[in-house]
Chain A
Amino acid sequence: MTDHDHDHDHDHARTVAPMVDEITDFEVLEIALRELCIEKGIFSADEHRRFTEFAEQIGPAPAAHLVARAWLDPDFKELALAEPMTASREVGVDWLEPTGFGTPSDFTAFEILEDTPTLHNVIVCALCSCYPRPILGNSPEWYRTPNYRRRMVRWPRQVLSEFGLELPEGVAVRVQDSNQKHRFMVMPMRPEGTNGWDEDRLAEIITRDCLIGVALPKPGRTANVITDTRPAVHPVD
């Protein structure tokens, strides 16, 4: 390393993160599978590239802005609840063609579930792991686990408490089961202590977990809950 390089080493925040300097078997396997599928004509390299580009750029930011805007603008809130696909387009997500060349496996109908003082919504996909990816990005690992999917529909309060969310008795919990044709996200209530905040500031506290329904927005909390994922108690034989 030269002195010149060393002088710039302190500036890690603005440099590319270090990467593993070893070719792993898993990296090789991913490439091998992909190449074989392409050679067999199952999908093209171009299709794969475009699906991957889509997966790389999506995240929960549009959904957070959608909710923040709805909190600030009653007309937009009405639109979001009545015509969620139209409201999504206003925050940059076109559900009809999210990748620009056809849809990933996340289509086709979208609905926004509004929390009230007496009703809390949470989403799950009991069948597999359907998730509103075009507007929320990729699902967290725990959302995909059989454990979450199986237990959330049966014991929602218990599972929510494992995320640190204890709901009062007077609040009903509605678990909405996603499926291949229908996707949902939660519109949480605006928390106290956010008077005068603008859309960007509000969006910071509307985390992915809030939009799934396993957390509530709270001033000062801008990160998702970290949970230990556990294997299923009774794994499939």
Chain B
Amino acid sequence: MAPLQDIVERNQVWPRMAAKYGVSNPVPPWKTSLDGMCDALDHAVCDANIPDLKDRRDEEDSLTATVYADLPYPENQLVALAHSLLTRGVIDETELRERLASVRARLEA
């Protein structure tokens, strides 16, 4: 999970970012979009290897208590979801890395 490990190491977590910029919002602005993504995944009806609600939550619990124990919530929830989708082959590591680069380039353009 190299792309995720890189993200963890860069540590751009919300409590640190919010303090740096004097922002008082308790959660990052992408939080409800993540909620929407989890709901949409839970309701996905397709052939892909998508974890159901219980599997997704169990994996989130397991990963946030171990591999991503140092991340705050909801960063740990997001990274755990990415980890689950990578492990199941729903998304592969190369395409994720490429997409991360293209999204960042777009946002910074």
Q: What interface size band does chain B fall in? A: 35 or more
Q: Which residues of A contact B20 (CB under 8 A)?
A: 20, 22
Residues of B within 8 A of A22 (CB): 12, 17, 20-21
B21→A18 contact, CB < 8 A = yes
A182 → chain B closest CB, angstroms: 14
Query: Is B66 within 8 A of A128, CB to CB?
Result: no
Chain B 33-49 per-residue mask, 1 if CB under 8 angstroms from chain A, else 0: 11111111111101010
| B91 nearest CB neighbor, chain A only | A36
Contact residues in B for A129 (Cβ distance below 8 Å): 57
Q: Report Cα–Cα, A176/B101, bound state, in Å.
A: 46
Cβ of B85 and Cβ of A33 under 8 Å apart?
Answer: yes
Q: Are B33 and A17 closer than 8 Å at their CB atoms?
A: no
Of the residues B24, B44, B66, B107, contact of A23 by C-beta under 8 Å: B107
Instruction: Check A128–B57 contact: CB distance below 8 A.
Output: yes
Instruction: Among A33, A48, A105, point to the contact of B82 (Cβ < 8 A).
Output: A33
Could you list which residues of chain A lie within 8 angstroms of chain B, going by C-beta atoms? 17-37, 40-43, 47-56, 102, 104-105, 127-129, 138, 141, 144, 146, 180, 229, 231-232, 235-237
In the complex, 6 of the A-B residue pairs with CB atoms within 8 angstroms, ordered by the A residue number, are A27-B29, A27-B107, A33-B37, A42-B41, A54-B36, A128-B57
